[in-house]
Amino acid sequence: MMTLPNLLNEQAAEILAYKAVSSEQVKKFEPQAAKNADCSMFELMTRAGEAGFEVLKTHWPKVTKIAVVTGNGNNAGDAYILARLALQSGMQVCVFCENIERELLADAGLAQREWVAAGGESKNFSCIDFSDFEIIVDGILGTGVEGEVKQSFQLLIEKINQTAMPRLSLDLPSGMHANTGIPMPICVHADITVSFIAPKLGLLTGIGKELCGRIELTDLAIGKAFYQLVNVDSQVVNWSLLNPIKSRPVNGNKGSFGKVLCIGGNQGMPGAIRLSAESALRAGTGLVKVYCHQSSGLHVASGRPEIMLQYQDLEAALNWCTCVVIGPGLGQDQWAVQKLDHVLRYLTTDPKSLVVDADALNLLADKKDKTNLYNIFSKLPACILTPHPGEAARLLKVQIKDIENNRYLASENISKMYGGTCVLKGAGTLIQTAETQNKNQCSWVCNGGNPGMATAGMGDLLTGIISAFLAQGMPEQQAAIYAVCAHAEAGDRVARQYGQRGMIASDLLTPLRAIINGL
Ligand SMILES: NC(=O)C1=CN([C@@H]2O[C@H](COP(=O)(O)OP(=O)(O)OC[C@H]3O[C@@H](n4cnc5c(N)ncnc54)[C@H](OP(=O)(O)O)[C@@H]3O)[C@@H](O)[C@H]2O)[C@@H](O)CC1
Ligand SMILES: Nc1ncnc2c1ncn2[C@@H]1O[C@H](COP(=O)(O)OP(=O)(O)O)[C@@H](O)[C@H]1O
Ligand SMILES: [K+]
């Protein structure tokens, strides 16, 4: 898979913690990577246990009573190492396992025997009582979980989640699918997850991002050897990791920075397109025009005379612009359908950069001839679709839960079906381009942003920022990545200053301006 490493600043390109992989990649390459780094598999397990213990001591320095809950695989091996280290440092530790008579295999067996030899106490799950402890270490299941978690483990996980105690998960919250972040059907809800060797895809987006808590990554000192063998599945990104945007040429004029045409704002819906237009201006577009329903014009431009307006002759507006946004407040009535069809016809013969959002996505979803759409979109200089999970579900004709069950796959499928880059919004926004004749596959996941941003108009703002970057000459994938990161960073700055609740989309405009100027 092709990524765009030149977008990352020098320091970021070196950070292994931001190169996400699937569990299959870990399983396949971990032994060879360890070998290349002169590390036995048991040594690797020991490092994992040690790293887990370090995280525990760092984040909960006062804790001395530890319940370590183990399964039957190597994840349990990591947990036995941690348990022994904690015991040997003078803490009160008990390991809870499915069956104390069961001897684990291979390296996990060795870790288990070391625990017993150190005088460690083990008990069966059936006598679990967390009241004597201050923290739960979760070493039940890691990347080896297959299919639905078995019933007895489900009950155990439920019990763990019901306690008010902090929970530290080793490698993955037990029960989570490593690649999608989905509980199968239940997983430990961790406060911190210590992720070994490489972050797994599922920890970074959607529900997985919530269930793993804070991620602490340790590469167990084999990261370099590992990444020499694997292709990264998805690059984690945020604004601080990106190279700054180049300064403007001193002789620039407004024509040098693009002309964005924002189409939307149907009757009674002026707000969304106004936000897109305003953010397009604040993200540096030279000229911004809104094509809207006449009844919306006053509201769209009120207090913002920099926004130009047009109600008629869409053809002329399309001729004028260098980048088209369609969707915010577009509606789905006859007026909306006509505008979208006009744009599609126009772009067939006169390709321009395009951002498709909101109701325009819903209208695209209804179109039967997806090949025609693909043919139009894949030939544009840039085409970016920005669905939230609801819109994504309509685009793929599936349920929202199907999108959230595998956000990576969903965004890739949208990109494949419609021929543009897909920005699948939500916690851990994904930027995915599927491989086509003229586009390289690339997958990025933004770890910025916060739930304060889950409020009306926030997506409209993102649409405007994307269009601004396209209008100023960034290529498709770069514009999508930079815009998602700038938008998330603006949301994070507002949250840091005023908190998450009560954030509104236009709060982001001032920080956005500072961010893109490198301030
Ligand atoms: N030295 C090393 O190799 C290193 C490995 N590392 C660590 O190993 C982890 C991967 O280890 P893994 O592959 O052994 O899998 P793991 O997550 O422990 O689970 C397997 C066990 O789970 C069980 N099980 C499976 N499905 C189930 C289900 N549906 N429902 C219930 N139970 C189910 C099954 O048990 P059984 O059926 O045998 O009772 C099986 O034995 C990885 O995440 C990392 O933590 C790192 O420390 C680096 C060094
Ligand atoms: N929990 C969250 N964490 C990070 N970002 C979020 C979260 N919830 C929403 N956002 C961001 O806020 C924006 C919301 O967009 P959208 O749902 O299209 O809103 P609207 O349609 O009202 O404009 C998206 O960019 C999304 O990624
Ligand atoms: K675990």
Q: What is the 3-state secondary structure (H, E, C) of 263-322?
A: ECCCCCCCHHHHHHHHHHHHCCCCEEEEECCHHHHHHHHCCCCCCEEECCCHHHHHHHCC
- In DSSP terms, 421 is beta-bridged to 384
Question: Does any ligand 1 atom lie closer than 6 A to the CB of residue 175?
Answer: no
Residue 137 has pLDDT above 90, yes or no: yes
Separation in Å, CA 173 to CA 53, 147, 158, 168, 190:
16, 15, 12, 8, 6
- Give the model's pLDDT for residue 439: 79
| Strands of 308-310's sheet in order across | 19-20, 234-237, 442-446, 430-433, 421-424, 383-385, 353-356, 323-326, 259-263, 287-291, 308-310
DSSP letter for 254, please. G
Tell me the mean pLDDT in the region 34-55.
98
The reply, when asked if residue 372 is annotated as ligand binding, is no
Question: Does any ligand 2 atom lie closer than 6 A to the CB of residue 52?
Answer: no
Ligand nearest to the backbone CA of 387: 2
What CATH fold (topology level) applies to the domain 22-231? Rossmann fold (3.40.50)
Ligand 2 centre and the CA of 204: distance in Å?
A: 16
Q: Which atom of ligand 2 is nearest to the CA of 386?
A: 18
The reply, when asked if residue 139 is annotated as ligand binding, is no
Question: Does any ligand 2 atom lie closer than 6 A to the CB of residue 73?
Answer: no
ipTM: 0.95
The reply, when asked if residue 329 is annotated as ligand binding, is yes
Distance CA(50)–CA(111), nearest Å, equals 12
Question: Does any ligand 2 atom lie closer than 6 A to the CB of residue 506?
Answer: no
Number of neighbouring beta carbons within 10 Å of residue 459: 26
Question: Does any ligand 2 atom lie closer than 6 A to the CB of residue 364?
Answer: no
Average pLDDT, the chain: 96
Residue ID of nearest Cα to ligand 1 atom 17: 142
Tell me the mean pLDDT in the region 426-451.
91
Q: Write the class of the CATH domain 256-516.
A: alpha beta
Question: Does any ligand 2 atom lie closer than 6 A to the CB of residue 429?
Answer: yes
Ligand 3 centre and the CA of 32: distance in Å?
A: 23
Per residue in 199-242, pLDDT (tens digit) is 999 999 999 999 999 999 999 999 999 999 999 999 999 999 99
Distance CA(109)–CA(69), nearest Å, equals 16
Residue 455 has pLDDT above 60, yes or no: yes
Residue type present at position 33: A
- Give the model's pLDDT for residue 5: 59
- In DSSP terms, 385 is beta-bridged to 356, 422
Ligand 1 centre and the CA of 457: distance in Å?
A: 44
**Higher pLDDT, residue 61 or 438:** 61
Question: Does any ligand 2 atom lie closer than 6 A to the CB of residue 427?
Answer: yes
Tokens matching residue 252: 């620039």
- pLDDT band for 254, please (50, 70, 90 cuts): confident
Ligand nearest to the backbone CA of 272: 2
Tokens matching residue 169: 């998960």
Q: Which atom of ligand 1 is nearest to the CA of 76?
A: 18
Residue ranges of the chain that CATH labels 3.40.1190.20: 256-516
Inter-residue contact 327 to 298 (CB < 8 Å): no
DSSP letter for 448, please. -
Residue ID of nearest Cα to ligand 1 atom 13: 144
Per residue in 388-422, pLDDT (tens digit) is 999 999 999 999 999 999 999 999 999 999 999 99
Q: Which stretches within 421-475 are classed as H helix?
A: 458-471
Ligand nearest to the backbone CA of 200: 1
Inter-residue contact 237 to 485 (CB < 8 Å): yes
Ligand 3 centre and the CA of 451: distance in Å?
A: 26
Ligand 2 centre and the CA of 137: distance in Å?
A: 33
Q: Which atom of ligand 1 is nearest to the CA of 73?
A: 18
- Give the model's pLDDT for residue 2: 44
Three-class HEC string of 355-395? EECHHHHHHHHHCCCHHHHHHHHCCCCCEEECCCHHHHHHH
Ligand nearest to the backbone CA of 206: 2
Question: Does any ligand 2 atom lie closer than 6 A to the CB of residue 274?
Answer: no
Percent of the chain with pLDDT over 90: 94
The residues placing their C-beta within 5 Å of ligand 3, an ion, are: 138, 169-170, 174
Residue ranges of the chain that CATH labels 3.40.50.10260: 22-231
- Give the model's pLDDT for residue 518: 96
Ligand nearest to the backbone CA of 178: 1
Per residue in 173-189, pLDDT (tens digit) is 999 999 999 999 999 99
Question: Does any ligand 1 atom lie closer than 6 A to the CB of residue 81?
Answer: no
